[in-house]
Structure 1
Amino acid sequence: MMDSDGTLGMIFLSQTVLGVLGNLSLLYYYLFLYFSQSSLRPTDCVLMHLIAANVLTLLCKGVPQTMAGFGWKDFLNDCECKGVFYLHKVGRIMSFSSISFLSVFQAITISPNDSKWAPLKCKAPKYVVACVNLSWILNLFINTVFLTNIRSKQGNKSMTMLKDFGYCSSVNIGEMDAVLHMVYLSFPDVICMWLMLWASGSIVLILHRHKRSMQHMFRSKVSPQFSPHTRATQTILLLMSTFICFYLLSSVCQVCLAIIYNPSWFLVNMSLFIAGCFPTVSPFLLLCRNYQVKTFCFTCVRNRKAP
């Protein structure tokens, strides 16, 4: 039992450390751009919100889950359990919201000048940052209902109507109430998923039309004018597809946890691990796809080696 607990602790510790370091490295790059150039692109601002949400998600579940994996039991009280679950939920939804707004902004940005979205091109940079800020406020308010069911395991060991999540527990409110509770909390996810699917479909259609129109220019040996936009769009599509894969897996686990009266310890840990996969992987996807970031990292390494 100790070996399995130690293995779980090492898995969650590795995931948390790797994810936090990756996100902080990307954040350092954007902060360097901000203080050196005194400005950031709207996409960079949204990505900074995504980084903050990723770090919040990893710390609020990775750290206590690591401690529980290494044998620490009942180390959080009621307020701390509520805070950890609440902030993790906010961070998870903000990751979803940030990617949704980022995809919508990119779809508007690369839309043709004769499309119906053309008038929004000039206003989109201001709106996308305001929407992300408003999303933080709404998610902080909406997820307060999530606090009512979370309990600490310190003084509730005698209660039988609790679902064990390792270091904290949740009150079993019944199947009907659980379904209504899940529908209420999933409403922002549904809106963000609809925006993401619409934006991804629009982006793929625009890129397909753009590729067909640029074929003649390639034959004429004329370099494409929108290759940076195309590369950025492909990066956002890769980010969206990665998020959707992990989100669907996480949603299946969340539904099972909400419906099953006494979920197994394997299902609980699997749900927590999958929930931390995207915050861990996403900064490395951005680091690998961003040519400017790789150039910046190479320059930093070269300057360190210089006498």
Structure 2
Amino acid sequence: KRMFSRDFTIGMIFLSQTTLGILGNFSLLYHYLFLYLTGYRLRPTDLILRHMTVANTLVILSKGIPQTTVAFGWKGFLNDFGCKLVLYVQRVGRGVFIGTTCLLSVFQAISISPRNARWAELKVKADKFIGPSNILSWILHMLVNIVVPFCVAGNWNNKTITKIKDFGYCSSVVRDTTTRLPHSMLFSFLDVVYLRLMSSAGGFMVFILYRHKKRVQHIHRNNLSPSSSPESRATQTILVLFSTFVSFYSLSSIFYACVTLFNTPSWWLINISPLFVACFPTVSPFVLLSSDSSVSRLCCVCTGKK
């Protein structure tokens, strides 16, 4: 009974998270589709956010559905090909949503940069490179994670392998530490690069907002306050996204490293790790939908203003 209660509880948590994540990301996609169909001119950042939303949805579906079904007792439902595909989609989706979050932070930092000749040229180039950067992110992570299908197998193959790591719906071959460490470092390299870029962009945005606030402190007109600036509101939203991402990413990275390095990770570790991985893709669309800029743009469309 205790085992059943534990599995049922974690299953309900996964089901709630998956349902909430799908609802949020599909609402955000519908929001952008509605703006597009009504003739509203989308901003450059909206293209980044659409790619982020698609990646978020892939992570939630490929993580949440298998974990939920396993928690409710339906094991071995994926064959070898299905297992390889699900794990591959998970890794690619995770890599892309991290990459697009980084791209969003860097682009917004360039957007609020000082209005001089050097930054003006960079702003024009940044607009042109958003589309190719999104496509490059997908291609890069599809290539980097091409090794993932060769490291996992469906549970129906487990009988032929003596050293396996069981994840419930899939298994991976347990390799020695000297083999696992280089792969872990390879997968972590891009994450480290993204985090450094995001940290630099976040620090720059905080500096610009602080300097702007100091400049307008002595101006008493309400329409010139930092909070009334659309750029300031957008920057604050992205900073909230960045802070949320770093928090969940740090926790998920710690749990993922433990699952990867331990030969026989505990039930608790195996189930908690995917929960944190899917937290940011679940929360981020609600942060974006609740931001003032999105609400005001939707109101402008409804009233006929563009």
TM-score by length of 2: 0.92
TM superposition shift of 1:3: 2.3
Rounded to whole Å, the distance in 2 between the matches of 1:75 and 1:294 is: 45
Superposed displacement of residue 254, structure 1: 1.0
Once the two structures are superposed, the pairs formed by residues 148-167 of structure 1 within 5 Å of their partners are 148-167=150-169
Partner residue, 2:9: 7
The answer for the alignment partner of 1:253 in structure 2 is 255
Q: Which residue of 2 aligns with 1:215?
A: 217
The residue that corresponds to 2:52 in the other structure is 50
Deviation at 1:160, TM superposition (A): 2.4
Partner of 2:240 in structure 1?
238
What CA deviation, in whole Å up to 9, does each residue of 1:43-102 have, x standing for no partner? Answer: 111111111011000000111111111110111111111110110111111111111000
Where does residue 73 of structure 1 map in the other structure? 75
Deviation at 1:290, TM superposition (A): 3.3
Distance 1:286 1:38, change over 3 A: closer
Contact 2:230–2:293 at 8 Å: present in 1 too?
Answer: no
Which TM-score applies when normalising by structure 1? 0.92
- Structure 2 residue aligned with 1:303: none
Q: Which ranges of structure 1 fall in alignment gaps of 5 or more residues? A: 301-307
Matched, 1:26 2:28: yes
> What letter is aligned with 1:251?
S
CA 29–211 in structure 1, closer or farther in 2 if over 3 Å, else same:
same
Residues 288 and 294 in structure 1, CA contact (< 8 A), matched pair in contact too: no
Task: Quote how far apart the aligned CAs of 1:221 are.
Answer: 5.8
Q: Distance in 2 between matches of 1:158 and 1:135?
A: 37
Distance 1:139 1:222, change over 3 A: closer
Aligned to 1:99: 101
Q: How does 1:106-185 map to 2 (within 5 A)?
A: 106-114=108-116, 116-185=118-187
- Displacement of 1:157 after TM fit? 2.7
Offset at residue 275 of structure 1 (A):
0.7
Residues 23, 159 of structure 1: alpha-carbon distance in 2 compared, 3 angstrom cutoff: same
Q: Secondary structure at the match of 1:169?
A: strand
Offset of 1:208 from its aligned partner? 1.1
In the alignment of these two chains, the number of paired residues is 299
Conserved? CA contact 1:108–1:118, under 8 Å? no
Q: Report the 3-state secondary structure (helix = DSSP H, G, I; strand = E; otherwise coil) of the residue aligned with 2:201.
A: helix
Pick aligned residue for 2:190 from 170, 185, 188: 188
**Fraction of identical pairs, as percent:** 49
Q: Is the 8 A contact 2:40 2:301 kept in 1?
A: no
Change (3 A) 1:221 1:171: closer
Which residue of structure 1 aligns with residue 89 of structure 2?
87
Gaps of 5+ in 2: none
CA deviation profile, 1:215-237 (whole Å, cap 9, x unmatched)? 23x23666248710000000000
Note the C-alpha offset of 1:118: 3.0
* Equivalent-residue separation in structure 2 for 1:146 and 1:222 (angstroms): 53
Alpha-carbon distance in structure 1 between the residues aligned to 2:8 and 2:75: 13
Q: CA RMSD in A?
A: 2.0
